[in-house]
Amino acid sequence: MSAGKPVISLTDITKSYQMGDVHFPVLHGITFTVDAGEFVSVLGPSGSGKSTLMNIIGCLDVPDSGTYMLGRRTVKGLPERTMARIRNRDIGFVFQSFQLLPRISAIENVMLPLIYAKVPRAQRYARAMAELERVGLADKANNLPRQLSGGQQQRVAIARALVTRPRILLADEPTGALDRATGAQIMDIFQSLNKEGITVVMITHDQKVASFASRIVYILDGKLYSKEEYAALELSGEG
């Protein structure tokens, strides 16, 4: 996909959670476009709907209404196996808590998505090792997650996210469990991946982390604002 074309396009997306009889609206008409090759962060406080939005973008959940286009495909009413395939091949995920399987080594964690993608066994090791090299962890390939620091675990998770060569990397508070210096190293990796052409969407509550992106959008109470809109909101005293 060439740079500048929308890869993610949300129009009027709404989402509520149902808890018993209580209908709890979380996203109130989100319109958001990300172009190929962008590095965008979505910045907002806890509870503003960031993870709900990320789950929709990542095809982990579906909106109540609105339109979601991923590339040229409308994400609506797709069978679960198609959603799973999108999650496996088109989007790489990075989470605050790394989400590595604890009982298998770093390289086995990185190889897992290739098993789901039905990549032949003979290619899995080399591809996973290449991703570990890219994040500077080839020498830790056989370590278990608990034998790695937090920053190293997150780098393994990034390698796992990229091993199927997705064009989009989605990250939900990727530095939330890391100290600031280690978090900055993770942001360096994101910036270099973005330079290689991967579209990065990162969700965070941390202004400093958000500023590593080339564009910031703001989320407040389930509504998205551009920088200018958000500044106007703060001036008007509503922010």
Where do contacts with ligand ADP occur on this chain (CB under 6 A)? 17, 19, 24, 26, 44, 46-52
The string over 107-121, giving b where at least 16 C-beta atoms fall within 10 Å of a residue's C-beta and e elsewhere, is bbbbbbbbeeeebee
**Which residues contact residue 201 at a Cβ distance below 8 angstroms, ignoring those fewer than 6 apart?**
8, 34, 40, 41, 42, 54, 57, 168, 169, 170, 171
Task: Tell the smallest beta-carbon distance from residue 165 to Mg ion (Å).
Answer: 27
Task: Report the chain's C-alpha Rg in angstroms.
Answer: 18
36 vs 91, beta carbon nearer ligand ADP: 91
The rounded distance, in Å, linking the Cα atoms of 211 and 142 is 34
Site for Mg ion, residues 34 to 53, rule: CB under 5 A: 50-51
Q: How many residues bind to Mg ion according to rule CB under 5 A?
A: 2
Query: What is the closest distance, in whole angstroms, from the C-beta atom of residue 27 to ligand ADP in the complex?
Result: 8
Instruction: List all residues 6 or more positions away from 34 whose beta carbon is below 8 Å from its beta carbon.
Output: 6, 7, 8, 9, 40, 199, 201
Q: Quote the least distance from Cβ 60 to ligand ADP, whole Å.
A: 11
Least distance to ligand ADP, CB of residue 112, Å: 25
H/E stretch holding 37 reads none
Does residue 105 touch Mg ion according to CB under 5 A? no
Residue 49: which of ligand ADP, Mg ion, none does it interact with, CB under 5 to 8 A by kind?
Answer: ligand ADP
Q: Taking the complex as a whole, how short is the minimal distance between the CB of residue 1 and Mg ion, in angstroms?
A: 28
For Mg ion, which is the closer residue by CB, 50 or 140? Answer: 50
183 binds, among Mg ion, ligand ADP, none (CB under 5 to 8 A by kind): none
Whether 67 and 33 have beta carbons less than 8 Å apart is answered as no
The one-character DSSP state at 48 is S
Sites of contact with Mg ion (CB under 5 A): 50-51
